[in-house]
Chain A
């Protein structure tokens, strides 16, 4: 499993995580699946969790996902996955991530330590919902 994410898009994701710090930031990765996944654009979304829980939780509402689907259709692409940040925590899926994850989507997690993005890793939930597998990020300059 591999996902191509151009460097400038990865940089945008990191900047978004830093701007959301100390809260979690989130959004959608749009693109196409042609053997590997290729991310071509992002949709930055508000974390819809109540403020008191935004430091370790995020929520993307169905209305925002509908907007994402419409944007993806306009671009002749698909929602490939979700990115979110982990303020002052590793870029590993939490148990809460696993509980609410949906198979097929790519889940990109960026650690933001003391307000500075420290690195991103990507994960996909197994069909049995018991664990995640890591998806290799291929970052290219375009």
Chain B
């Protein structure tokens, strides 16, 4: 199964795990499975409209999914998806 890497700030909402093995053929499936397994993750990944929060970025290995097919990017069983926050302030 594909692996979803959880960044440190979100681990408290994912049972303390740094990575999760989750079923899915596309990235969206894996995120859905993560939220089903760990419902507290949802509000930190998605806004009230169900869109990914602006600071949530997804990478397939070292490739930003924005340069691939986004949430529809297909996955193989050996793929690793990383959740990487971007940081802004003033």
Question: A residues engaging B (CB < 8 A)?
Answer: 24, 26, 56-63, 65-66, 69, 78-79, 82, 84, 93-94, 96-97, 100-105, 107
Contact = CB atoms under 8 A, between A and B. Distances in A.
A58 B90 contact: yes
Contacts, number: 68
Interface residues of B, number: 18
A96 B89 contact: yes
Given A62-B57, A66-B62, A79-B8, A101 B89 contact: yes
Contact of A102 (B57, B62, B64, B85): B85
A79 to B, nearest CB: 6
A107 B88 CA distance: 11
B86 interface: yes
Interface string B50-75: 00000101010010100000000000
Name the residue in A56, A96, A100, A103 with the highest tally of chain B Cβ atoms < 10 Å from its Cβ. A100
